[in-house]
């Protein structure tokens, strides 16, 4: 209902007068109410084709459903289909039992022109300043052992492989653009991070992608394709392609619980590194609980990572889990707490004759953030993040903490 009001700004009296007409004709009211709410949700999410199909089905079941007729007429007008919008308004005038006053208000509501709306364009800019206690992911323990048995030797890491701290500044920009009437969304993300002293770890990341939602029966699908580039110290470090499909099964509208499933494929290439390229398959389950001021999200994923060549450790498999909580403290303040854990188990020995074990990795990250809406379209956020990477290979273990202050402006 909220999206319906935002889109059309209908007078409440007209809305109530038209919607109440459905009550006398609702043989299966619960099912029809759910279909109507799904249609309103599709309108608010700009899934116009889905909304037209759902409203059409509802009108077939209930020809005098005033709300569905009005929504479909206004949607057709918004898409530039004036002839179809006028036909629906005539249908309402002829078939609905409206009083003289209601009929007059309906005539005032009927648009004189149906100019297609401009495609949705969104833009956001974020500035960050912060401190990282371990920019280079330096080993927690400077001492390590190579070889096995009588051939073991104990060595100490060089200073450049031990933790290095530094301050950083980041600027990022996100832009999205709708295409056509099928709610296809294109987006671009750019992120630049510079360190005060450790310029070799400066990064620049660019990502471009497309997203397409659609409905089949009561199931919602969302397909995404993404291509990204990452530079490290001014040189191209990583290229990645991702294809993802998200499925959201139907749920009771009155329930705060939602479930979803994601299947994705990613292909990663490292132009300056040999034997690092790989592709990964992921199957993820998502569960969320949402109320007006509270959102709890969790997920569990299985990952299969396949090396393209003789990568150290070969193929690997793993699990990823996360839990995220957002709580609106007041009209302007929001608290966010997050936790995630990544487990990897390699298939083969990491380095024969040097490190005679198969790599086992366990990485956990904790996050806490406080956001303040400081002005219209502007948000200030203070964020703390702690990462603990445990491994059975000591030189790969590391801990890190970051503290950063973010300012964001957006045009929506």
Q: What is the pLDDT of residue 36?
A: 87
pLDDT for residue 181 is more than 70: no
> pLDDT category, 17, cuts 50, 70, 90?
very low
Question: Containing domain of residue 210, as a range?
Answer: 125-410
Same-domain status, 132 and 94: no
pLDDT digits (tens, 9 = 90+) for 233-292: 999 999 999 999 999 998 776 789 999 999 999 999 999 998 899 999 999 999 999 998
DSSP per residue over 253-264, as a string?
TT-SEEEEEEEE
Q: What is the average per-residue pLDDT within 18-46? A: 65
**3-state secondary structure at position 351:** strand
DSSP state, residue 142: S
Instruction: Spell out a b/e string for 150-188, using b for 16 or more CB atoms within 10 Å of the CB, else e.
Output: eeeeeeeeeeeebbbbbebebebebbbebeebebbbebe
Q: State how far the Cα of 377 lies from the Cα of 387, in Å rounded to an integer.
A: 31
Strands (E), 180-293: 184-195, 203-216, 219-232, 235-248, 257-269, 278-290
Chain segment 373-401, per-residue pLDDT in tens: 999 999 999 999 999 999 998 889 999 99
Please check whether residues 160 and 63 belong to one and the same domain. Answer: no
Segment 351-360 mean pLDDT? 87
Whether residue 113 contacts residue 371, with contact meaning beta carbons closer than 8 Å, is answered with no
Residues 196 and 276 in one domain: yes
Claim to verify: residue 225 and residue 359 sit in the same structural domain: yes
Residue 113's alpha-carbon distances to 68, 79, 80, 166, 220, in angstroms, are 21, 11, 9, 59, 33
Same domain flag for 363 and 237: yes
**Residue 183 in tokens:** 């709610």
Q: Within a domain: residue 118?
A: no
Q: What is the CATH number of the domain that holds 317?
A: 2.40.160.40
Q: What are phi and psi of 271, to 5 degrees?
A: -60, -30
pLDDT for 63-106, tens place per residue?
989 889 999 999 988 888 889 999 999 999 888 888 888 888 88
What pLDDT shows up at residue 217? 77
Is 269 within the bounds of a domain?
yes
Residues 132 and 223 in one domain: yes
Q: What percent of the chain has pLDDT over 70?
A: 90
Whole-structure pTM value = 0.76
| Shared domain check, 337 and 241 | yes
Q: Give the separation between CA 317 and CA 306, rounded to whole angstroms.
A: 8
- Is 16 inside a domain boundary? yes
Determine the Cα–Cα distance for residues 392 and 362; give it in Å rounded to an integer: 9
| Distance, CA of 29 to CA of 37 (rounded, Å) | 12
Residue-wise pLDDT for 34-49, tens only, equals 788 888 888 887 778 7
Query: Which residue, of 52, 79, 109, is where some domain finishes?
Result: 109
* DSSP 8-state code for residue 118: P
The 8-class DSSP code of residue 45 comes to T
**Are 254 and 386 in the same domain?**
yes
Q: Could you tell me if 335 and 390 lie in one domain?
A: yes
Q: CA-CA distance, 3 to 41, in Å (whole number)?
A: 7
**Residue 26: is its pLDDT beyond 60?**
no
Both tokens assigned to 357: 């074990």
Last residue of a domain, one of 80, 109, 138: 109
pLDDT of residue 253: 67
Indicate if 385 and 237 belong to the same structural domain: yes
- How crowded is residue 93: how many other Cβ atoms within 10 Å of its Cβ? 13
Does residue 115 belong to any structural domain of this protein?
Answer: no
More confident residue, 146 or 216: 216
Q: Which helix (H) or strand (E) holds 382?
A: strand 378-391
Nearest-CA neighbor of 397 among 200, 142, 148? Answer: 142
Residue of higher predicted confidence among 188 and 41:
188
Provide the greatest CA pair distance for the chain: 100
Q: pLDDT band for position 163 (50/70/90)?
A: very high
The per-residue pLDDT for 154 is 75
151 in a structural domain = yes
CATH number of domain containing 49: 1.25.40
Q: How far apart are alpha carbons 82 and 7 in whole angstroms?
A: 17
Position 119 in a domain: no
342-348 — which CB contacts under 8 Å span 24+ positions? 342/318, 343/318, 343/319, 344/305, 344/316, 344/317, 344/318, 345/316, 345/317, 345/318, 346/313, 346/314, 346/315, 346/316, 347/313, 347/314, 347/315, 347/316, 347/317, 348/313, 348/314, 348/315
> Is 254 inside any structural domain?
yes
Q: Is residue 120 part of a domain?
A: no
What confidence score (pLDDT) does residue 292 get? 87
Q: How many domains does the chain have?
A: 2
Mean pLDDT of 219-223: 91
Q: What angle do CA 205, 209, 214 make, to 5 degrees?
A: 150
Mean pLDDT of the chain: 88
Which of 129, 134, 92 lies closest to 110, judged by CA? Answer: 92
Domain finish residue from 109, 140, 155: 109
- How confident is the model at residue 151, as a pLDDT? 67
Same domain, 136 and 53: no
Give the pLDDT confidence score for residue 248 in this predicted structure. Answer: 92
Give residue 190's pLDDT.
98
pLDDT at 3 over 70: no
Q: Is 9's pLDDT higher than 70?
A: no
Q: Are residues 103 and 224 both part of a single domain?
A: no
Structure tokens of 163? 């933790």
pLDDT-based confidence at residue 10 (cuts at 50, 70, 90): very low
What pLDDT score does 344 carry?
Answer: 98
């Amino acid at each position: 209902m909220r999206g319906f009001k935002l889109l059309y700004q209908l007078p409440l009296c007209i809305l109530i007068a038209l919607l109440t007409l459905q009550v006398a004709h609702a043989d299966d009211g619960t099912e029809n109410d759910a279909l109507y709410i799904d249609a309103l949700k599709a309108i608010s999410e700009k899934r116009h084709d889905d909304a037209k199909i759902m409203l059409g089905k509802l009108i077939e079941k209930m020809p005098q459903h005033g709300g569905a007729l009005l929504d479909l007429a206004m949607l057709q007008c918004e898409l530039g289909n004036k002839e179809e919008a006028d036909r629906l308004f005539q249908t309402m005038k002829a078939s609905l039992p409206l009083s003289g006053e209601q009929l007059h208000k309906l005539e005032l509501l009927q648009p004189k022109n149906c100019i297609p709306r401009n495609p949705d364009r969104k833009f956001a800019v974020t500035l960050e300043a912060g401190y990282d206690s371990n920019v280079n992911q330096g080993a927690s323990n400077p001492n390590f052992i190579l070889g096995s048995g009588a051939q073991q030797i104990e060595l100490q890491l060089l200073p450049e492989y031990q933790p290095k701290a530094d301050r950083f500044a980041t600027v990022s920009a996100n832009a999205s653009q709708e295409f056509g009437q099928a709610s296809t969304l294109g987006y671009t993300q750019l992120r630049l991070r510079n360190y005060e002293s450790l310029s070799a770890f400066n990064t620049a990341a660019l990502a471009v992608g497309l997203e397409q939602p659609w409905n089949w029966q009561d199931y919602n699908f969302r397909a995404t394709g993404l291509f990204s580039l990452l530079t490290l110290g001014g040189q191209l470090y990583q290229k990645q392609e991702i294809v993802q499909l998200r499925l959201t099964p139907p749920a009771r509208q009155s329930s705060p619980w939602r479930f979803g499933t994601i299947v994705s494929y990613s292909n990663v290439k490292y132009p300056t590194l040999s034997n690092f390229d790989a592709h990964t398959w992921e199957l993820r389950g998502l569960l969320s609980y949402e109320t007006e001021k509270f959102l709890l999200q969790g997920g569990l994923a299985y990952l299969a990572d396949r090396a393209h060549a003789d990568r150290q450790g070969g193929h690997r498999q793993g699990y990823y889990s996360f839990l995220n909580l957002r709580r609106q403290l007041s009209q302007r303040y929001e608290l966010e707490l997050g936790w995630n854990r990544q487990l990897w188990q390699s298939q083969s020995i990491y380095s024969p004759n040097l490190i005679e074990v198969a790599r086992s990795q366990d990485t956990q990250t904790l996050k806490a953030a406080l956001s303040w809406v400081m002005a219209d379209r502007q948000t200030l956020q203070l964020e703390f993040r702690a990462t603990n990477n445990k491994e059975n290979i000591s030189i790969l273990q590391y801990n890190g903490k970051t503290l950063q202050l973010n300012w964001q402006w957006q045009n929506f």
